[in-house]
Structure 1
Amino acid sequence: MRGSQDRVADAITAFAGTMGFVCIHAVWFTAWIVLNEGLLGKAGVFDPYPFGLLTMIVSLEAIFLSTFVMVSQNRQAARENVRADLDFETNLRSEVWSVHIGKALGLDPQRIEQHVQEIIAQSRAGIDGTTRGIPVDPKDL
């Protein structure tokens, strides 16, 4: 269950990954520098070059943003673990059902497993680029 802290972290992370975020910061930095260079009058200068206050604010923002990103990544990893567990359970169920159906049909499980291993090897060779990875004809299964 997502708590309010998780929702806030996800919302901040989602916004921080947009061009809107980049544009807001570009405008903010530009305005800060223009104001503190005295281009709008010396009375507006509150953080003269080398902009120590701006540097501190940006550093703190980076610390918090990286923390929010890590929180979101941890939540995403937890979701992926649940998905992987469900995939494993589904695959295991399919395997067990296939074995029982094969036995009921009188098929030789060792011969089928050998054939499966050959197809897997052929598929991996195609993925690795060591062969062209010619698709297996369904009639050959």
Structure 2
Amino acid sequence: MSRSVQHHPAVVAHLEHRASDLQLRIADAITKFAGSMPFVYLHTVVFAVWMVFIESSPWPTLTLVVSLEAIFLSTFVMIGQNRQAAFQHLKADHDFIEQELELKTNTELTRAIHVMTTELHRRLLTRETE
């Protein structure tokens, strides 16, 4: 039995936009890799090899490389946060519109039920008096 998953329309629009923009796909790929354990393992190995075999203490070049990497990684994190904030705003707008529509529909249904109930009550009263 196949189950189709329905995604929120704001999610679908967001994913389509991200898939169409090469820069966003690159930023997503880097952020995804930088937030993974293979990233940690790779850096552990690279730093250990660098400190043992390439440069002697106090590792000035390694410090420069790590500082530059931190600048770029923090930039990618901020890009991701900005994109997430834009997505949340889009989703909130969509949810607000949907809730307004639901409220309007519920109000109309409540009024219709009230009219029908009043009419039923009136008919019952007129039937009892006859």
Once the two structures are superposed, the pairs formed by residues 1-141 of structure 1 within 5 Å of their partners are: 1-2=17-18, 3-36=21-54, 47-106=55-114
How far the C-alpha of 1:73 sits from its partner, in A, is 1.3
Q: Secondary structure at the match of 1:74?
A: helix
TM-score (norm 2): 0.71
Query: What count of residue pairs does the alignment treat as equivalent?
Result: 97
Amino acid at match of 1:73: Q
TM-score (norm 1): 0.66
Amino acid at match of 2:31: T
Q: Would the aligned equivalents of 1:6 and 1:72 in 2 still touch at CA under 8 Å? A: no
* Counterpart-to-counterpart distance in 2, 1:93 and 1:67: 39
Q: Would the aligned equivalents of 1:13 and 1:72 in 2 still touch at CA under 8 Å? A: yes
Greater than 6 Å deviation, 4+ residue runs: none
How far the C-alpha of 1:80 sits from its partner, in A, is 1.2
How far the C-alpha of 1:77 sits from its partner, in A, is 1.2
Q: Secondary structure at the match of 2:114?
A: coil
The answer to which of 2-11 and 18-27 deviates more is: 2-11
* Bigger relative CO (Cα 8 Å, ≥ 6 apart): 2
* Counterpart-to-counterpart distance in 2, 1:11 and 1:22: 16
Per-residue CA deviations over 1:105-134 (Å, capped at 9, x if unaligned) read 118xxxxxxxxxxxxxxxxxxxxxxxxxxx
* Higher percent of residues as helix: 2
RMSD: 1.2
Per-residue CA deviations over 1:73-96 (Å, capped at 9, x if unaligned) read 111111111111111111100000
Q: For structure 1, list consecutive stretches of 5 or more residues without a partner in the other structure.
A: 37-46, 108-141
